[in-house]
Amino acid sequence: MDITALLRRIHAGDHDALNAAVPFVYDELKRLASSHVRRLGKDVPMQATTLVHEAYLRMVHSKHPDYGSRVHFYCIASRVMRQVLVDAARAQLAQKRGGEAAIPLGDLSEFGAEPNERLLAVDAAIERLTVISETKASLIEMRYFGGMTAEDCAEAMSMSVHMVRKELRFAQAWLRSELAV
């Protein structure tokens, strides 16, 4: 079956098409989830399989965006997975801290913050980057959370590979400076 045709049906609101697409995309979704989990280390709030299932449920119960292509579908799936992990991390830290809302952010790589705090700090930095440049924030999500290549990012964003790499270098430098505060 043609995955692009299924994605078009999903955009049209056909929930059966999303269910039909899962067998075709499950392995790649599992790879994306494993990538997210691996980046967080041993204290990740859930396993890759659970992450795939939670992301799938959110995608099924949300208004479906226009999945313009297979790559775009994976971009959105990766973003949903990141949000699932962020929500789980927030809940876990709120419970651990007795419901406190404020979480101090710092240079997480050098000061050894807990993985959930690191995830929340990166998420907050990406949200700030979104205000400056949605393109740069999307590229960071695709490349580092989605494990997509520069070529995949270029296809999804309708940009040249050279421009993707240039934008990513800027975004990486900006994020490093944000997380160093």
Cβ–Cβ < 8 Å for 90, 120:
yes
pLDDT of amino acid 91 = 79
- Whether the model clears a pTM of 0.75, i.e. scores above it, the answer is no
- CA distance to 19, 20, 37, 53, 131, per residue, from 25 (Å): 10, 10, 18, 12, 31
Mean pLDDT by 10 residues, the chain (181 residues): 76 78 84 78 73 84 70 81 84 65 35 60 90 92 80 87 95 90 61
Question: Tokens in use for 12?
Answer: 């049209």
For residue 94, the tally of other CB atoms under 10 A from its CB is 13
Contacts of 98 (CB under 8 A, 6+ apart): none
φ, ψ of residue 23 in degrees (nearest 5): -60, -30
Question: Domain coordinates of the chain in residue numbers?
Answer: 3-179
Positive or negative torsion for Cα 151, 152, 155, 160: negative
